[in-house]
């Protein structure tokens, strides 16, 4: 079946503009995750969804970041008033429900965000 | 303290030889999980192997095995019979339970180069 897809693959935006990043998880995966990877760095965990709810938003870097998930499927990560330090690759992943005991995450190709 | 520590920024291995990538972790959660992911130059993160904290046996997946030493809080990845296609960044990661669900932490990665 299809893997995790993300759009756009690349986004260049001007400082101060808002951006929306989209993630389509693997069908049947109820858990969805957002990460950020800066150049040459590891992954920074931002937020996860179990179904449509995000129980812990503490990983979001600032209140300019928000995420939602509707219908237990597609998720959108929104960054308002973008700053240059927001430039990074934003990765989305999905996994089976945690009560399945299977936590391995399947990642999308990422969205490369450049704020000029 | 760092949740996940990978002390080898870069490693080289001769083709067909085995290599060990180090990972240590820090958690007080008795029920945690450890993962290894591979990130080739194409950028996509690929799940390799998972070890649960209560698993008695070391996890194995084909040429990958996880050397789990719980008392030392160590979860090294062993790749046997290295292939040129194994050249990539390798990330160690951990899931630990929180009051609101789960948190995921990634190390800074080890760059592996397989030499023909």
Distance from CA of A100 to the nearest CA of B (A): 13
Which tens digit of pLDDT belongs to each residue from B34-84? Answer: 999 999 998 889 999 999 999 989 999 999 999 999 999 999 999 999 999
* Spans of chain A, pLDDT less than 50: none
Number of Cβ atoms within 10 Å of the Cβ of B34: 26
Phi then psi for residue B31, to 5 deg, are -115, 95
Question: Strand B110-115 relative to strand B10-14: parallel, antiparallel, unpaired?
Answer: parallel
Strand partners, B68: B75
Write down the mean pLDDT value for chain A. 90
Number of Cβ atoms within 10 Å of the Cβ of A22: 15
Rounded (10°) CA dihedral A55, A58, A63, A65? -70
B33/A103 Cβ within 8 A: yes
Distance CA(B28)–CA(B37), nearest Å, equals 23
Within the 37-96 window of chain A, which residues sit less than 8 Å (CB to CB) from chain B? 41-45, 48, 50, 55-56, 59, 89, 91, 93
**Hey, is B55 helix, strand or coil?**
coil
């Amino acid at each position: 079946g299809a893997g995790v897809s993300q759009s756009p693959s690349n986004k260049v935006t001007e400082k101060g503009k808002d951006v929306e990043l989209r993630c389509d998880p693997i069908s049947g995966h109820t858990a969805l995750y957002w990460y950020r990877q800066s150049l040459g760095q590891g992954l920074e965990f931002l937020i996860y969804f179990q179904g449509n709810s995000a129980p812990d938003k503490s990983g979001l870097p600032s209140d300019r970041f928000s995420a939602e998930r509707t219908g237990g499927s597609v998720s959108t990560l929104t960054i308002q008033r973008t700053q240059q330090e927001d430039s990074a690759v934003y990765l989305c992943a999905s996994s089976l429900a945690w009560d399945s005991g299977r936590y391995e995450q399947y990642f999308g190709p990422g969205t490369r965000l450049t704020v000029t | 303290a760092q949740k996940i520590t990978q002390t080898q920024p870069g490693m080289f291995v001769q083709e067909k030889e085995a290599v060990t990538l180090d990972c240590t972790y820090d958690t007080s959660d008795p029920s945690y999980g450890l993962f290894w992911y591979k990130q080739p130059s194409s950028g996509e993160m690929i799940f390799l192997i998972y070890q649960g904290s209560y698993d008695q046996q070391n996890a194995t997946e084909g040429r990958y095995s996880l050397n789990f030493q719980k008392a030392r809080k160590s979860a090294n990845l062993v790749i046997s019979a290295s292939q040129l296609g194994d050249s990539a960044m390798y990330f160690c990661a951990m899931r630990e339970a929180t009051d609101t669900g789960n948190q995921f932490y990634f190390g800074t990665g080890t760059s592996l180069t397989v030499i023909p």
